[in-house]
Amino acid sequence: MLISKKMEKALNQQLILESAASFNYLAMASWCDKEGMDGAAKFFYNHAAEENEHMMKIFLFINEVGGHSVTPSVKQPTLHFKSVLEICQLALKHEEKVTRSIHKMVDLTVQEKDHVTYDFLRFFVREQREEEVLFDKVISQIKLIGTGGQSLYYVDNMLGSIESTMEEEATSEE
């Protein structure tokens, strides 16, 4: 086994956070869809898929290094929101929680001299920085332009264009 039982447990706990993030983003996307915000819905549907990919990446890694991945159970996410601003604030709060968890695992890898898991987690450290910066910028822009009808139209287009840009960058990297 390439990882300790303590690290295996921490990674399995991370599966819960990644799964919860995926389902939270699905609930947010559904709300945006219901509110007629197609760009925002696309943004959150794609974030849900990305979080699911992260969960699977960790799930497969645990088994690859001799651990045992445990399928996480996830509680029902919030289904009703007041605004897209509230959604983005909740998303940032959850991303910050995920970041703290990943940093604790990195600390554990250093403590245990687990270079394999340390190298694996570097991807997630970078991803979390990107997510927090993104949501912080989106929240700042929403606060700047407001939440009226025309403002929501702009926010919806902005989120849709962020997602389109991210898709283009991902395609060019392949």
Domain boundaries, the chain: 5-173
pLDDT, tens digit, 9 for 90 and up, residues 137-168:
999 999 998 877 788 888 999 999 886 666 56
* Cα radius of gyration rounded to whole Å, the chain: 17
Q: From 1, 3, 25, 26, select the one nearest 108 (Cα to Cα).
A: 3
Q: Which CATH class is domain 5-173?
A: mainly alpha
Check pLDDT > 90 for residue 66: yes
Per the listing, tokens 């929501």 go with 152
Whole-model pTM? 0.90
- Cβ pair 17, 115 in contact under 8 A: no
Tell me which DSSP letter residue 148 carries: S
Q: What is the mean pLDDT of residues 36-42?
A: 95
Rounded CA-CA distance 155/163 in Å is 12
Q: For the chain, what percent of residues have pLDDT higher than 90? A: 82
- Cβ pair 8, 124 in contact under 8 A: no
